[in-house]
A and B are shown apart, each in its own frame.
Chain A
């Protein structure tokens, strides 16, 4: 059974696809983060959003 947390995460990621401000790479990383971790820290979000194209190659 999906928890409410998972339900919200799925809808959040689906809705985020329609945002011009968040690219596919970041959405994929958010998906992994939300699936893997129950207690997400702000630093992890900062790291994802700070990547210019969702990747981490410089």
Chain B
């Protein structure tokens, strides 16, 4: 994938113009709230994906990149807002530059425009999850299992899989319904054939026996085998001219229809009643009806989503995934409606089967009525058949079923009032017809038999094809679900293991036996975690909020590892590290260093101490970190650099701006003294409000440092390490000398003599102060790596170190 070499940002969010060099390394950006850190993250995310996560998602309605991406003073000139990223493509081994303007986020300029470079950047653009902000981390932990499943599946790009599974399921349901319909059709055709032939089952042997009897009457050769192309009326010279009317068969058709008509009142009564009951539920609960109506509407909308514009209301969205998730969430809310929908369709399908049965008996009678010229009866049957066809169509969709309540409450078949009389009259008419001659009877018997055999064969073929189709669809759906379940279980198992490993790495001191367990089930993902080996509980049950936050970060890292594998080379962590409690920050740094050595994390934090701890832990260096000390709407973030602070102060003094130089020195001292107090375990006078004054903090740091050098000298003496002892003594002496120059210790005695007076100094008065403090602070830094020194552990320290270990003093004396 990629690593960032540098970024140039202009007029994006709160940034006017900013250049940062990342050098493909892990990088930290610190600064107080509102200093512009997240603006950098927004800009990088925008440069890579064309999106800004902060302007999408919950609570961001009305926000958009196009309108709110540019600096507030450039809203009317979005062309001025752009990001230029220099990227190293790790697998291709080459660099590229991507420039993206807010005015045309989908058309980045990529140089070189090689296909392989564009392919990698296109892939990155589809992964906005490379950015994790603090407000997002709990979405994996403190959510309902269904929501967690959605979040994780969304992050792992499982939406497509869900879409495929859903489409396979819909396909198998449709083909099953079609098969049911085709089977009913085939049964009707079979009944028509066997009724005509007067045989119990359509066996070839029985069929040929009956047919050959009639052929004998006509002196036609017997058919020995019922081949697929065998014609039962083969040899009839005048077959084409025959009406096809066979009196005996016709009477049987009419009688069969009349007999079946007696069963009409009880036909699918239970199913119709069930539908009526379901429809009554809908009437009683309008919200359910609304959910049901919405469900169908939303399902349709979801199937039409092909871009970041809602197909239902034309509302624009930041991205397609978000729109799709929004619609899916709405679908979930109507679960009860879904069950109702299933019930309605299931009972509707059974009624459709019965309609096909009725239509199967009605069709030959209608044909007879037409053939016999009984226009009125034919018209009655035609209208009824059309009505039943219409009912059949309506029963196929929930939308239409809802309008059938009244019909289903009574005689849903809507038998024409005149049917019984008309049927009897038609029967009488047929009966009154003179019997056909044996020859004519045999001829029409054979022609009718051939027609019905053909119809039956056709219906059987259709039914068989429908059977093959639905079996194929079912096998495919079942197979897909089985493979999906296996793969997801394996995936969750891996994520679960990595998650536990990462969390243990951070909390090795008190939760070294931590484990977690995912419980995947259809549409949801349960998560339980071990609480001090007392059992598995939901994350929020007993763990503190800090620990829950830590879990969120660990789960994110586990998911990203799973998603990208070795290609997880880049991630933006926006104020996420604040979620890790103070006791476990070094372990967190160690986790990122050891488990993700090849991943470039760009980390922001509003806690400057945290930023320094990242340096002390060796996660970043002075060169791979930057601090913003403040922000103004006109200037954007103001960058503070430890290395350059003395140049900045000298620059201010050079311009005669003593006040500015004094302010810069004061801020630097405040920051460094807090940092050193923490890293060295100093003991300033305790303040419950935590608002330590520089006049209290810095003297306590000096005192502590002297103690530590004293301990280092004693320990070296006890171990016989003369060189170490000499160095420690020299360092202590140097510290005392420098302290004398800075006159810091007096602050603890007389707070009136401190930095507030500097503002009134002249340039020549202040220069020695700057020199003294520069030398004094130099006593706390490693000359090699320029990191601030620290003790470990902070309580009862055993070692004094720097990030590169060039400074490494034992503080424990040899036991006597």
Asked if residues B160 and A30 are in contact (CB atoms below 8 Å), the reply is no
Q: Which of B171, B174, B472 is the one whose CB lies under 8 Å from A21?
A: B472
In the complex, whether A38 has a CB less than 8 A from a CB of chain B is yes
Asked if residues B475 and A50 are in contact (CB atoms below 8 Å), the reply is no
- Choose among A22, A41, A44, A45 the residue with the greatest number of B CB atoms under 10 Å from its CB: A45
Residues of B within 8 A of A49 (CB): 171, 175, 469-470, 472-473, 476
In the complex, which residue of chain A has the Cβ closest to the Cβ of B475? A21
Given A1-B567, A8-B484, A12-B480, A19:B475 Cβ within 8 A: yes
Q: Interface digits, A22-51 against B, CB 8 Å rule (1 contact, 0 not)?
A: 110010001000100011111111100110
Asked if residues A11 and B487 are in contact (CB atoms below 8 Å), the reply is yes
- Give Cα A8 to B163, complex, Å: 13
Given A11-B483, A52-B465, A42:B174 Cβ within 8 A: yes
In the complex, which residue of chain B has the Cβ closest to the Cβ of A54? B472
Asked if residues A16 and B479 are in contact (CB atoms below 8 Å), the reply is yes
List B251-305 residues whose CB lies under 8 Å from chain A. Answer: 303
Q: Which of B472, B482, B567 is the one whose CB lies under 8 Å from A26?
A: B472
Residues of B within 8 A of A43 (CB): 171
- Choose among B170, B469, B471 the residue with the greatest number of A CB atoms under 10 Å from its CB: B469
Given A8-B487, A15-B483, A50-B175, A39:B476 Cβ within 8 A: no
- Give Cα A9 to B468, complex, Å: 22
Main secondary structure of the interface of A (DSSP, over half): helix
Q: Which of A9, A15, A26, A42 is the one whose CB lies under 8 Å from B167?
A: A42
- Choose among B158, B174, B468, B567 the residue with the greatest number of A CB atoms under 10 Å from its CB: B468
In the complex, which residue of chain B has the Cβ closest to the Cβ of A11? B483
List B470-518 residues whose CB lies under 8 Å from chain A. Answer: 470-476, 479-480, 482-484, 486-487, 491
Residues of B within 8 A of A11 (CB): 483, 486-487
Asked if residues B161 and A4 are in contact (CB atoms below 8 Å), the reply is yes
Q: Which of B465, B476, B484 is the one whose CB lies under 8 Å from A22?
A: B476
- A-B pair count, CB < 8 Å, reads 93
CB distance from B269 to the nearest CB of A (A): 32
CB distance from B130 to the nearest CB of A (A): 15
Asked if residues B472 and A42 are in contact (CB atoms below 8 Å), the reply is no
Asked if residues B303 and A45 are in contact (CB atoms below 8 Å), the reply is no
Asked if residues A45 and B171 are in contact (CB atoms below 8 Å), the reply is yes
Q: Residues of A within 8 Å of B, CB-based: how many?
A: 30
- Choose among B164, B168, B306, B474 the residue with the greatest number of A CB atoms under 10 Å from its CB: B164
In the complex, whether B410 has a CB less than 8 A from a CB of chain A is no
Residues of A within 8 A of B160 (CB): 3, 5, 38-39
In the complex, whether B213 has a CB less than 8 A from a CB of chain A is no
Given A4-B158, A12-B480, A41-B303, A21:B471 Cβ within 8 A: yes
In the complex, which residue of chain A has the Cβ closest to the Cβ of B169? A42
Asked if residues B164 and A34 are in contact (CB atoms below 8 Å), the reply is yes
Asked if residues A16 and B476 are in contact (CB atoms below 8 Å), the reply is yes
Residues of B within 8 A of A23 (CB): 472
Asked if residues A4 and B491 are in contact (CB atoms below 8 Å), the reply is yes
- Give Cα A16 to B482, complex, Å: 11
Residues of A within 8 A of B491 (CB): 4
Asked if residues B487 and A4 are in contact (CB atoms below 8 Å), the reply is yes
- Give Cα A44 to B564, complex, Å: 30
Asked if residues A40 and B163 are in contact (CB atoms below 8 Å), the reply is yes
Residues of A within 8 A of B472 (CB): 21-23, 26, 49
Q: Which of A8, A44, A50 is the one whose CB lies under 8 Å from B483?
A: A8
In the complex, whether B110 has a CB less than 8 A from a CB of chain A is no
Asked if residues A21 and B474 are in contact (CB atoms below 8 Å), the reply is yes
CB distance from A26 to the nearest CB of B (A): 6
Q: Which of A1, A16, A38, A50 is the one whose CB lies under 8 Å from B565?
A: A1
Q: Which of A7, A40, A46, A52 is the one whose CB lies under 8 Å from B164?
A: A40
Given A12-B479, A16-B479, A50:B469 Cβ within 8 A: yes
Asked if residues A52 and B157 are in contact (CB atoms below 8 Å), the reply is no
- Give Cα A5 to B167, complex, Å: 14
- Give Cα A3 to B160, complex, Å: 10
In the complex, whether B380 has a CB less than 8 A from a CB of chain A is no
Residues of A within 8 A of B565 (CB): 1
Residues of A within 8 A of B156 (CB): 4
Asked if residues B161 and A8 are in contact (CB atoms below 8 Å), the reply is yes
Q: Which of A39, A44, A46 is the one whose CB lies under 8 Å from B175?
A: A46
- Give Cα A21 to B175, complex, Å: 14
In the complex, which residue of chain A has the Cβ closest to the Cβ of B171? A45
Asked if residues A5 and B157 are in contact (CB atoms below 8 Å), the reply is yes
Q: Which of A12, A38, A42, A52 is the one whose CB lies under 8 Å from B171?
A: A42
- Choose among B170, B476, B567 the residue with the greatest number of A CB atoms under 10 Å from its CB: B476
Q: Interface digits, B172-199 against A, CB 8 Å rule (1 contact, 0 not)?
A: 0011000000000000000000000000
Asked if residues B167 and A16 are in contact (CB atoms below 8 Å), the reply is no
Q: Which of B306, B479, B567 is the one whose CB lies under 8 Å from A19?
A: B479
- Give Cα A5 to B166, complex, Å: 14
- Give Cα A50 to B469, complex, Å: 5
- Give Cα A44 to B170, complex, Å: 11
List B132-162 residues whose CB lies under 8 Å from chain A. Answer: 156-158, 160-161
CB distance from B591 to the nearest CB of A (A): 24
In the complex, which residue of chain B has the Cβ closest to the Cβ of A41? B167
Residues of A within 8 A of B465 (CB): 50, 52
In the complex, which residue of chain A has the Cβ closest to the Cβ of B173? A42
Q: Which of B158, B167, B468 is the one whose CB lies under 8 Å from A44?
A: B167
Given A22-B475, A42-B167, A5:B174 Cβ within 8 A: no
CB distance from B84 to the nearest CB of A (A): 27
Q: Which 8 A-B pairs have the closest CB atoms?
A: A45-B171, A42-B170, A21-B475, A21-B471, A49-B472, A42-B167, A49-B473, A19-B475
Instruction: Knowing that A1-B564, A49-B470 touch, tell me 8 more A-B residue pairs with CB under 8 angstroms.
Output: A5-B157, A5-B161, A8-B487, A26-B472, A41-B167, A42-B166, A42-B171, A45-B171
14 A-B residue contacts at CB 8 Å? A1-B567, A8-B483, A11-B486, A11-B487, A12-B479, A12-B483, A16-B476, A30-B476, A34-B164, A39-B160, A42-B174, A44-B167, A46-B175, A50-B469
Which residues of B pack against A, CB within 8 Å? 156-158, 160-161, 163-164, 166-168, 170-171, 174-175, 303, 306, 465, 468-476, 479-480, 482-484, 486-487, 491, 564-565, 567
Which residues of A pack against B, CB within 8 Å? 1, 3-5, 7-9, 11-12, 15-16, 19, 21-23, 26, 30, 34, 38-46, 49-50, 52
